[in-house]
Amino acid sequence: MQVGNSFNTQTSNYVNDNKTGVEKALARIAATKELNGTDGASLILSNALSSQISSMTQSIQNSNDAIGMYQIADGALKALSIGSDTLGELSVRYNSDTLNASQKGSLEQAFTSVTKGMKDIMAQATFNGQNVLSSTLGLDASQLDSLSISNQQSVSDLQNNLTSLSSEVSSRTKSYEVGIANALSSVSNLTSANAQISETPLDKIISDFSQNQIKLDSSMMAQLHQTTLMQQQISTLLA
């Protein structure tokens, strides 16, 4: 009676299965990128997807920067709008026929002071060293240089311009936000697609490799223990 035959057959099967698994795992670990495809087409496709993901990720970063810039512009425009309202009130009071020269002089000083403060706000509204309220970005608020307390229309024109600029900033910010949302959706889809053909993480491959070894060792020990017990039982029966 060849009791060991069953053990040898099962052990051989475990060894062969594990050998196949080990060879695959080692090949995957050695490869720079594991691909399900059998030729270079999968590698080309994966690289193309990775390039698209990288490009769109950079685009998202650029859009975030733009939103940050327009947030600075929006804050500055809100402060300028408050200042322009004050200038409007001063101009209306100044042009009243009931005021004397001394009173008008005080209003002129206040008008000049507010205007200076607004110019400081414009000068400080910068992003990466660039003034955000400039003609370069299409957000020109330079009308401050042509204001006059005696010319109510100049103040009114400034107020209308600031309102228009605020609307433009809001529209641009919204456009970038929508663009980011769409880009994130595309990146998610591209990443999922790339995951279908690209590499399994190296730590996962190594973990699978180790688990296969543990399974083989455990199975062989169990089979050896079972065979030893059977041999002992047979020896007892034959004694």
Mean residue pLDDT across the chain: 76
* Residue 35 backbone dihedrals phi, psi, to 5 degrees: -125, 140
The residues with which 131 forms a beta bridge, in sequence order, are 126
Structure tokens at 121: 């706000």
Q: Where are the beta strands (DSSP E) in the chain?
A: 126-127, 130-131
How many CA atoms within 13 Å lie on the side-chain side of 103? 10
CB 121 within 8 A of CB 62: no
How far the first Cα of the chain sits from its last, in Å, is: 15
What local confidence, expressed as pLDDT, does residue 230 receive?
Answer: 53
Sign of the C-alpha dihedral computed for residues 173, 179, 51 and 207 taken in this order: positive
| Nearest alpha-carbon partner for 206 in 15, 14, 24 | 24
- Work out the burial of residue 111: count CB atoms within 10 Å of its CB; fewer than 13 is exposed, 13-18 middle, 19 or more buried: buried
What local confidence, expressed as pLDDT, does residue 56 receive?
Answer: 84
Q: What share of the chain is helix, strand, coil (3-state, %, to 5)?
A: 80, 0, 15
Spans of the chain, pLDDT less than 70: 1-42, 196-239
Question: How confident is the model over 21-60, as pLDDT tens digits?
Answer: 555 654 554 444 444 444 566 677 777 877 888 888 888 8
Q: Whole-angstrom Cα distance, residue 120 to residue 113?
A: 11
How many CA atoms within 13 Å lie on the side-chain side of 223? 19
CATH superfamily of 36-198: f41 fragment of flagellin, N-terminal domain (1.20.1330.10)
